[in-house]
Amino acid sequence: MGEIATSERQITLFYNSSSVRAKQTLAYAKAEGLAILEIDLLKTKITGTQIVELADRLKIKVEDLVNQEHPSYTSILEHHNLSTNDWIKMIQHHPEIMKQPIALHGDITILVETPTDIIKI
């Protein structure tokens, strides 16, 4: 069992409050009457274990959670082959570079590409 608690009664949404897509997703979910547990990555520090668990649930590597197109990432460094622990530390110190929003509902986890994706779960 993972560190991230999930429920069939609500959707857990990991998001960045400065992201337009995240704001639209949250607004859409609320308009649909979905119960949402909001976790703003800019206000709530997530653990390395949670980062690894999110990557595992999405069936991707931790490094693939990083938006390498984000201006904060490109200003930090160029693409390098880092260890998983280095990627975790980078996400923890610069949460704005993490791909998001990520929605969890029971055993289902999705990376929200468009705000309406939230109803898929």
pLDDT at 79 over 70: no
pLDDT tens sequence across 8-45: 899 999 999 999 999 999 999 999 999 999 999 999 99
pLDDT of residue 68: 82
Per-residue pLDDT of 80-113, as tens digits, reads: 678 999 999 999 999 999 999 999 999 999 999 9
What kind of fold does domain 11-120 have according to CATH? Glutaredoxin (3.40.30)
101 Cβ contact list (under 8 Å, min separation 6): 13, 14, 15, 16, 19, 21, 22, 25, 26, 111, 112
- pTM, two decimal places: 0.91
Q: Which amino acid would we find at residue 120?
A: K
Q: Supply the pLDDT for residue 5.
A: 80
